[in-house]
Structure 1
């Protein structure tokens, strides 16, 4: 009896099933020509081994096994990890045209429409934002704002003098107020200033939105984007973060616009952006997001750095003593140091570099994305892969830095890059901690001015010691490894929202320190300089809230 023909309706699902099996068979597998890496498992690749927190430690451990360039498979995606100056210089700087992208992130796109300059993909909007940022943040333009940085530095010394136990938030207020003044012409006289608390509140929600594993893997399974919001709490989170960010960013932008209409200039950067919008090719949307993302960067990174400085001073009294001896010799104790003194202070310059190396604010930088296939040392760097720059691993490489785990500014006194004798430094540059290629931090000159001024003055003004344990009467040991697990480096603003599990930015968790003025005379100078800074502050205080105005009047009445 002849067999019946097989219906094509039965053949189609069989063929589809076979196609799926073949496809899934290769998911998680390391493709040919990729750099080596940890063993993979089907479907997941290295996902099960991917560190849940402080990935820079694990990435550095893997680098010792698999080399300066290795690959990780995350399901069907690929991550490349670079842990050498040579590979970073070649791929991030020299080939920046093809490694300038960012990895796809549905949450970022939904919240910011791709207009967050730091996390945006390589688009025309990003290019316009970058052109504008680099045009306004030149070294010369940043130097014009040194006066407000000096005034804010006078206040942070005053605040710490009178409330030393709150040094952690005083440093955070300082960095937030500087960047708000410079960008928007509006300062924050206290940590409780509405714009500061609003900023840190929305930043905490923003970090939760970016938290790996806290939300469905939309970038891996795009169909999840179509889930209705009533069944997708992460969509509600995106909507709330977007609303709060826009309220803050565009509220500050509108203040600038109204001041310009009234002919009242403060000289802030957003005034220039508004006046040159057509030249820069910026819409009002992009102008608002440009100010917002610069506010994000400047509010957190500098304060995290300065908190690490205090931690280093408490835990390394010999370094503190050497730094103070140099300042006393060059500047003396009759006046506070200025930025002009820094070139004459080689040990302080070395100390500044060592803080960057010892506890980098961005231990893995912010991941890059590849726009096209690249080959390096015979390995494929595939299009659309995520590229991690392991600054932590580079800065703590014993082959490059002797006694790399130790805090030793002397290494940078010995030579410009702080490296061991015989290390080839042709690929080194001074500003490795500020990023690479076309994604280098545009606010680098502003940040360096703030860091240079505050480091010098904080060391000149105060002695830093561990607090005394009341039970034993002995100094409490300071944990130099207790660093925050979040994008932000402050305690959670909402106990219901967990910390982000791998930091983009790293700073010490709040810690205790005994901070005292080095002399009564120095304390008097701090009080005097704060009072003298009033005229610099007033330019940025026109639109203060009634509560902030009352606070300012109360503090100044004391003088």
Structure 2
């Protein structure tokens, strides 16, 4: 055999090997959980939903089971739609599933500094340590007064301008978390940082939603597409600019208060005090505060909007909740957090809202750092794991009539499941994440009455589209209308009294507000003459 012949043969063999390896891309590896049929090279990429993927994932779960796999080119995704595999893999084996998958578009915006999306690195462990050091159960108790005061303004706002309830809820959820974290509140929605935050946050959530952007992590060459042909680059750049202006602007305000001796006990003050001890640079501090704002603002407002939508769409549940409040709280005071233990139906309403419309229907993706096996299936190292919270909560084999809002299911059984269902792996904190990535949350309630708004021409109640929800990794109902009225003159008086009594609680969080915000807050309290 001549040298030339040998070279040709080797090249032919190499070509055959390369073709064979290429044809393997997209195929489901032996040992993986089952899943939809794949296509050469693409796998399931062409069938992957580009918006609200939890719906399609739930349909696939009915066919392929509570744990199945998808192939996006060479990438393996494990989808979990069952409480048992979620408990086992995401909590009992959280040491193996604690990572996040690469997310190039997220890194463009936050540079790996967002604690909710960061990879499992030394930096992430430092950020997590800082959060756990600062937000202990004991430390969070000091923030209850401002949380209660903000709730009193929410009720007052709805009392005075009920038609604007949708933005009142957004103002409330954002002002609470901004007060607790950065020590500065927002008394109004329009024209302030709350509206700025929500405009940015909606775009940010769309950026990181699975399937919403081109598969850059699978096809790295897309990183080099010029921005004029890559609108996602423009979007990422704009969101990054707004985030930095918002988060680091509030950090500067906090630093000025500390320098001037005007502390109000917010989280960022403590974090700045311990910055060197926790080995955090200034960029890490600012982005940590921003990520916590993201985790506690939009989620709360989305939950409350879904709660209101449920109350006006299922008036029998609203009536039961009001009757329980009357029997426990009476008519001479407003509800307090201490009442919750005596309000089982109100608790059931909260649990059912989380089940009926989870604010994160597809939990933030995890990634494995080592190979695991579950029920005979191989979960390879580097695989992405998606927990389909929506599918878990809307399984008709587990929940009776799951599309219906029915709080009584949580009165009949602790976790709202059908008779005979094994609840050993279920918990009420499922909507808040898993294992070492779990996030805390607080839910508040008020005692206003929600009614269906009537058509001005026919007088008939308007029927609501219960599926008109925004797209994104966090989802809530799009704006809708309803009539909100106090249940009695006495209820209205109690709301007003609670709001005016909160003035002293608000003041330490208003020093850094804009002049316009200060005038607005003073006018609400009847003190506008002090700011003329």
Report the TM-score, using the length of structure 1 for normalisation: 0.90
Equivalences for residues 381-530 of structure 1 within 5 A? 381-441=379-439, 444=440, 447-448=441-442, 451=443, 453=444, 455=445, 457=446, 460=447, 462-485=448-471, 503-530=472-499
Aligned partners of 1:3, 1:27: CA distance in 2, in Å? 35
- Partner residue in 1 for 2:131: 133
Does residue 262 of the first structure (1) align with residue 248 of the second (2)? no
Which segment is superposed worse, 549-558 or 507-516? 549-558
- Partner residue in 1 for 2:31: 33
Distance change in 2, residues 1:385/1:149 (3 Å)? same
Aligned partners of 2:189, 2:523: CA distance in 1, in Å? 16
Alpha-carbon distance, 1:17 to partner: 3.9
Question: Per the alignment, in what secondary structure is the counterpart of residue 515 of structure 1?
Answer: strand
Query: Which consecutive unaligned segments of at least 5 residues does structure 1 have?
Result: 486-502
Alpha-carbon contact 2:184-2:512 (below 8 Å) kept = yes
Question: Per the alignment, in what secondary structure is the counterpart of residue 380 of structure 1?
Answer: strand
Alpha-carbon distance, 1:6 to partner: 4.2
- Partner residue in 2 for 1:285: 283
**Match 2:100 to one of 99, 102, 116:** 102
Alpha-carbon distance, 1:193 to partner: 4.7
Aligned partners of 2:312, 2:102: CA distance in 1, in Å? 41
Aligned partners of 1:506, 1:232: CA distance in 2, in Å? 25
Equivalences for residues 106-117 of structure 1 within 5 A? 106-117=104-115
Distance change in 2, residues 1:216/1:431 (3 Å)? closer
- Partner residue in 2 for 1:339: 337
Alpha-carbon distance, 1:226 to partner: 4.2
Alpha-carbon contact 2:206-2:473 (below 8 Å) kept = no
- Partner residue in 2 for 1:87: 85
Alpha-carbon contact 1:175-1:299 (below 8 Å) kept = yes
Distance change in 2, residues 1:48/1:537 (3 Å)? same
Aligned partners of 1:180, 1:302: CA distance in 2, in Å? 13
Alpha-carbon contact 1:71-1:80 (below 8 Å) kept = yes
Which segment is superposed worse, 519-528 or 314-323? 519-528
Alpha-carbon distance, 1:405 to partner: 2.0
Alpha-carbon distance, 1:12 to partner: 7.4
Deviations 1:220-276 (A, max 9, x none): 122343456576554444333322212211111121122112222100011111111
Aligned partners of 2:517, 2:230: CA distance in 1, in Å? 39
Aligned partners of 1:65, 1:239: CA distance in 2, in Å? 40
Aligned partners of 1:363, 1:62: CA distance in 2, in Å? 15
Alpha-carbon contact 1:402-1:420 (below 8 Å) kept = yes
Does residue 63 of the first structure (1) align with residue 61 of the second (2)? yes
- Partner residue in 1 for 2:502: 533
Alpha-carbon contact 1:45-1:72 (below 8 Å) kept = yes
- Partner residue in 2 for 1:353: 351
Alpha-carbon contact 2:363-2:433 (below 8 Å) kept = yes
- Partner residue in 2 for 1:495: none
Alpha-carbon contact 1:193-1:548 (below 8 Å) kept = no
- Partner residue in 2 for 1:148: 146
When the two structures are aligned, how many residues end up with a matched partner?
528
Distance change in 2, residues 1:163/1:470 (3 Å)? same
Alpha-carbon contact 2:198-2:298 (below 8 Å) kept = no
Aligned partners of 2:406, 2:359: CA distance in 1, in Å? 18
- Partner residue in 2 for 1:498: none
Aligned partners of 1:333, 1:347: CA distance in 2, in Å? 18
- Partner residue in 2 for 1:547: 516
Aligned partners of 1:298, 1:20: CA distance in 2, in Å? 49
Alpha-carbon distance, 1:52 to partner: 2.6
Alpha-carbon distance, 1:511 to partner: 0.9
Deviations 1:302-357 (A, max 9, x none): 01000011001101111111111111011011111111111111111111111111
Aligned partners of 1:553, 1:160: CA distance in 2, in Å? 18
Equivalences for residues 235-246 of structure 1 within 5 A? 235-246=233-244
Distance change in 2, residues 1:299/1:13 (3 Å)? farther
Question: Per the alignment, in what secondary structure is the counterpart of residue 95 of structure 2?
Answer: coil
Deviations 1:377-430 (A, max 9, x none): 110111111111111111112222222222111111122212222222221222
Distance change in 2, residues 1:214/1:69 (3 Å)? closer
Question: Per the alignment, in what secondary structure is the counterpart of residue 29 of structure 2?
Answer: coil
Alpha-carbon contact 2:45-2:72 (below 8 Å) kept = yes
Alpha-carbon distance, 1:4 to partner: 8.6
Aligned partners of 2:465, 2:227: CA distance in 1, in Å? 43
Aligned partners of 1:12, 1:545: CA distance in 2, in Å? 74
Aligned partners of 1:558, 1:284: CA distance in 2, in Å? 38
Q: CA RMSD in A?
A: 2.1
Aligned partners of 1:214, 1:464: CA distance in 2, in Å? 35
Question: Per the alignment, in what secondary structure is the counterpart of residue 276 of structure 2?
Answer: helix
